[in-house]
Chain A
Amino acid sequence: MRILIIEDDKDVASFIQSGLQQSGWNVDHADNGKDGLFLAATESYDALVVDRMLPAVDGLTVIRTLRASGIQTPVLVLSALGEVDDRVAGLKAGGDDYLVKPFAFSELSARLEALLRRSGEHGSTQATTVLNVADLKMDLLRRDVSRAATKIDLQPREFQLLEFLMRHAGQVVTRTMLLEGVWDYHFDPQTNVIDVHISRLRAKIDRDFDVPLLHTVRGVGYKLGGDTN
């Protein structure tokens, strides 16, 4: 996997770069929009991490230009809190996800993985009506869930939560990602609100079965399913 970071802040860039390299990624770095645009347009990357505020050419322009020239590489937009961090503007320009600085590295890596997975599954996701993780099965049309042929009753919100986890099976999802993806609110939940919903879901899908599927990843979030990379 090859990632390009377009970020003018040297500290942030090297922090992301070393973190991703440790996880076995191949990482390039451009410290301004012009070089970044050139690299993104000429080289082949699996994902881009683009800062909004950049010298020469700003981040949103970079993304717009790439999209206009037909380059669909997934983009994670970074923005410092205190800038005009309008999420909508970032996504409208063609960004795929949005992360506000300062952020934990685990949050970035979880979101980046989700992006890569999404782009890898491109085409097949549209038609999916049934999700499977191990012996857990979700029928999106009939809106029912079963595990090892045992039907599981879920509240509507629990269903949405499980759907999100199943779509990101094998990946770490953070609490913020869950709040965004399931409840559609974009802030950091202070208390354990998400944890409580997860533990209720876990009670329904894991308690009566030998092999637990919903794992807590300490300090980061949750992961459904084993290491099926």
Chain B
Amino acid sequence: MRLPSILRTGVFQLTMVYMALFGASVAALFIFTYWSTIGSIERQSDSVIEAEIRGLAEQYERRGLPGLVEIIRERVRRDTQGRSVYLFVDSSLRPIAGNMAYWPQELNRSSGLVSFFKINADGVQIPARARVLTVGQGYRLMVGREINELALINQDFRRALVWGIGLTMGLALAGGILMSLQAQRRIARLNRTTRQIIAGDLSRRVPTTGGRDEFEELTQNVNAMLDQIENLMAGLRHVGDSIAHDLRGPLTRLGNQLELLAAEAEPSREGLTMCAEQAEGLLATFNALLRISRVESGAYRSAFAELDLSGIVSDICELYHAAAEDERITFSSEIEPSIAVFGDRELLAQALTNLLDNAIKYTPQGGSIVVRLIQEADSACLEVADNGPGVPAKDRERVFERFARLDQSRSLPGNGLGLALVKAVAEQHGGTLEVADNSPGLIVSLKLPSKQP
């Protein structure tokens, strides 16, 4: 059952509509041609009859009945081809003159032009058109013309019309079937690939034909989308892997310690406290992960409002000032007043907190940290600069990844999630996060659009 499935395709249905439209326009074209050719000839022939009637009526006025009879006879004699039809009858329809043997009944119906079939002596029917002129008391004169050639052309024309429309429809149908078969084949290819992808094979791609039509465009878009999805999936898997990897270590340690404690007759309070602290650290890591994915999910965006970023930055600087000084780090801030952004107060505060946590962690005693908030053309720029060890150029992209910990920082406490959260916060606010060299040290700049995104 091939045909029914074709009939169901959208392309074929479209073809059917086109076919109907095409048929209608061909018919309209024929009708117009008919009107302007055969119709015109008919009208011409009719006007000849009218003119003849007028002429004969005039002759009757001038020369009376005998004159009219004579003229009719003269006309019949001169019409060697026999195309003109004349018949002059008295009130009882008896022929007086003319080249027709009987008075056709059709003529009694109308006083205008009438079409009828003239039956010859040999019984052949010839189509004719005629008009009647009444003269004197009950005398009637019929003037007409045979239109058998016109009728033949007419017949041919109609046949051509039927064939023409039939052929057009046939071609449209065949073309439609061909087109929909081809479209169906290409869509089937697309469907086959998507089904394979649904089945789990993300590496599949829809074969391209190299053309430039919309199907090819769709194919390329689908493939590009699949690339994107595959990348995201890979990223996700990477995150999942690193979460598993980075949490396995501490969990194993915790498990081992608890096992040892369980084996002791009287578990030491110190050991238990240590275990509790480790569990708390793990919990904090999970919370940080959850918070990052929550920020990335855009859940906070609905609560975004216009904020005084200068105020938030001042608050957090004030909060961290003492902590930095305790580490013998010079802490200074340059904050332009009343810089407004559109966002979430807690998230932005948390982001700056993470940046300052990092700065304090990596800046050696005697070092300095500078926080700067300046208004740029169309964004607010928040910078945290330190003169710690900085980040080698090759690692600058990697520092934003979850659990990205550079070799030099492995020994320091931390879960490697701080900058990942800042990055997520920056992105949710339509901003950017970059790290640069402070030679020596690191500059992290967070740029947030000034206006509502």
**Which A residues form the contact surface with B (CB < 8 A)?**
81-82, 84, 86, 102, 104, 157, 183, 185-193, 196-197, 199-200, 218-219
Contacts and interface: CB of A to CB of B under 8 A. Distances in A.
A190 B322 contact: no
Given A193-B322, A196-B322, A200-B322, A185 B360 contact: no
19 contacts: A102-B286, A104-B280, A157-B318, A183-B319, A185-B316, A185-B345, A185-B346, A187-B349, A188-B287, A189-B319, A190-B354, A190-B418, A191-B323, A191-B360, A191-B361, A192-B323, A193-B320, A193-B323, A219-B273
A124 to B, nearest CB: 31
Given A185-B349, A188-B287, A189-B353, 4 more contacts: A81-B287, A81-B290, A183-B315, A193-B320
- B interface, how many residues as a size bin? 20 to 34
Contact of B287 (A84, A102, A186, A189): A102
Contact of B357 (A185, A190, A196): A190
Nearest to B299: A84
A82 B290 contact: yes
Nearest to A186: B346
B353 A187 contact: yes
Nearest to B303: A86
A191 B357 contact: yes
B356 to A, nearest CB: 8
Contacts of B303: 86
Contacts of A183: 315, 319
Interface in B284-311: 284, 286-287, 290-291, 293-294, 299, 303
A186 B277 CA distance: 22
Contacts, number: 55
Interface in B385-408: none
A185 B315 contact: yes
B323 A196 contact: yes
A200 B318 CA distance: 14
Contacts of A196: 322-323, 326
Contacts of A193: 319-320, 322-323
B13 interface: no
B333 interface: no
Q: Pick the 7 closest A-B CB pairs, nearest first.
A: A196-B322, A196-B323, A193-B323, A187-B350, A190-B357, A81-B290, A185-B349
A157 B318 CA distance: 9
A13 to B, nearest CB: 19
Question: Which secondary structure characterizes the binding site on chain A?
Answer: loop
B283 interface: yes
B276 interface: yes
B322 A197 contact: yes
B311 to A, nearest CB: 11
A19 to B, nearest CB: 13
Contacts of A81: 287, 290-291, 294
Nearest to B324: A196
B315 A82 contact: no
Contacts of B277: 219
Nearest to A197: B322
A67 to B, nearest CB: 23
A190 B412 CA distance: 14
Contacts of B280: 104
A5 B349 CA distance: 33
Nearest to A184: B315
Contacts of A84: 299
Nearest to B418: A190
Contacts of A219: 273, 276-277
Contacts of B360: 191
Contacts of B276: 219
A160 B424 CA distance: 33
A90 to B, nearest CB: 13
Interface in B401-427: 418
A219 B323 CA distance: 19
Contacts of A86: 303
A190 B283 contact: no
B346 A187 contact: yes
A102 B349 contact: no
Interface in B246-280: 273, 276-277, 280
Contacts of A197: 319, 322
Nearest to B316: A185
A196 B346 CA distance: 21
A86 B354 CA distance: 22
Contacts of B323: 191-193, 196
A79 to B, nearest CB: 12
A214 to B, nearest CB: 16
A18 to B, nearest CB: 16
A193 B316 CA distance: 10
A199 B322 CA distance: 10
A179 to B, nearest CB: 8
Interface in B315-348: 315-316, 318-320, 322-323, 326, 345-346
Nearest to A89: B303
Contacts of A191: 323, 357, 360-361
Contacts of B320: 193
A191 B413 CA distance: 10
Contacts of A186: 346
A56 B290 CA distance: 27
Nearest to A190: B357
Nearest to B320: A193
Contacts of B350: 187
Nearest to A156: B318
A219 to B, nearest CB: 7
Nearest to A185: B349
B11 to A, nearest CB: 46
